[in-house]
């Protein structure tokens, strides 16, 4: 029996089986993976392991991160590695490990979702060796609170945020998530309370370097929803939600700008971000952009 306030997990998690990154997984779902993903489900691959080599296992330590950020990051486009400790040899090995994760995930997503091939733009690759639970953070930065992803300094405009996660924990600990209400419900709850965007602020933020590009009306709305969701204690406790543990050796894919989620606990995770133009979706009408435009009755770009 499901606890009060939750759903059958099959309503929010679509399980697909494969052990290889270089072949498309078998699908026994009622709908194609792209449809499930765009509807807001998490695509879950319980046996898709990102395997570390023997020498790479030395990086299974929180000391790998330098403490200035919650994760080590790598840009596959430039080769830049940030927030890692160690010497030049360590940095080269960490960068090679993270580049391999980028390459594996990009190929896998293009095989799984051929509709997106050619349109995906890679973002940063992250390695998160630090335990989430107990890490101090302000409500706005506390990812143990249900939220949808929106970036203060990186406006998305007409792009989606697609993320691939892999749990590589060597101690058997899962990555514990809460998965919240559908985005349509989130929009209905919070969109009306989004304050008006200050005229000229998008130009000013861009000119001052506060943002990397113009903050659109859509970005403004998503940031306001993100912050308001996290700050609303009543909503966090009472909204429809499911708990789910992603075990070591598993991988999952989700549009984190649509699927409300909270990472409650876990350590040793790889994550790859991709950006996808809304118009490259199988159904652009399912994007948060279009949902918010319909709710407000006006364009947001």
Contact 271, 126 (CB under 8 A): yes
Ranges in the chain, pLDDT < 50? 1-4
Tell me: the pLDDT tens digits for 161-187?
999 999 999 999 999 999 999 999 999
pLDDT given for residue 69 in this prediction: 87
Q: Which domains does the chain have, with CATH numbers?
A: 12-296 (2.60.120)
Q: How far apart are CA 223 and CA 232, in angstroms?
A: 14
pLDDT given for residue 274 in this prediction: 98
pLDDT given for residue 64 in this prediction: 97
pLDDT given for residue 212 in this prediction: 94
Count other C-beta atoms under 10 Å from residue 116's C-beta: 20
pLDDT given for residue 93 in this prediction: 98
Strands (E) across the chain are located at: 13-15, 42-45, 72-75, 80-82, 121-128, 159-167, 175-179, 242-246, 251-255, 261-265, 269-277
Name every residue whose Cβ is closer than 8 Å to that of residue 241 and which is 6 or more positions away in sequence.
Answer: 5, 6, 146, 178, 179, 180, 181
pLDDT given for residue 26 in this prediction: 75
pTM beyond cutoff 0.85 = yes
Name every residue whose Cβ is closer than 8 Å to that of residue 63 and which is 6 or more positions away in sequence.
Answer: 85
pLDDT given for residue 5 in this prediction: 62
Retrieve residue 3's tokens: 């606890």
Tell me: the pLDDT tens digits for 231-264?
999 999 999 999 999 999 999 999 999 999 999 9
């Amino acid at each position: 029996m499901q606890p009060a306030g939750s759903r059958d997990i099959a309503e929010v998690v679509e399980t697909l089986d494969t052990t290889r990154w270089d072949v498309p997984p078998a699908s026994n779902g009622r709908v194609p993976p792209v449809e499930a993903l765009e509807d807001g489900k998490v695509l879950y691959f319980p046996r898709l392991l990102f395997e570390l080599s023997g020498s790479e296992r030395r990086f299974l330590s929180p000391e790998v991160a330098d403490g200035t950020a919650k994760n080590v990051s790598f840009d596959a486009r430039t080769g830049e590695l940030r927030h890692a400790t160690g010497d030049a040899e360590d940095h080269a090995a960490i960068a090679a490990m993270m580049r391999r994760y980028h390459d594996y995930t990009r190929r896998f997503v293009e095989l799984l979702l051929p509709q997106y091939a050619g349109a995906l733009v890679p973002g940063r690759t992250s390695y998160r060796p630090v335990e989430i639970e107990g890490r101090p953070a302000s409500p706005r930065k506390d990812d143990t609170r249900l939220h949808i992803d929106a970036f203060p300094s990186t406006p998305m405009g007409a792009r989606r945020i697609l993320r691939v996660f892999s749990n590589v924990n060597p101690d058997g600990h899962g990555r514990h998530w809460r998965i919240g209400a559908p985005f349509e419900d989130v929009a209905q709850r919070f969109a009306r309370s989004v304050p008006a965007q200050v005229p000229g602020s998008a130009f000013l933020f861009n000119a001052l370097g506060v943002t990397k590009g113009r903050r659109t009306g859509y970005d403004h709305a998503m940031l306001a929803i993100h912050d308001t969701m996290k700050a609303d204690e009543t909503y966090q406790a009472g909204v429809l939600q499911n708990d789910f543990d992603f075990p070591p050796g598993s991988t999952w894919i989700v549009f984190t700008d649509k699927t409300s989620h909270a990472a409650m606990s876990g350590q040793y995770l790889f994550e790859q971000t991709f950006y996808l133009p809304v118009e490259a979706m199988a159904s652009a009408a399912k994007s948060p952009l279009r949902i918010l435009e319909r709710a407000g009755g006006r364009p947001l770009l």
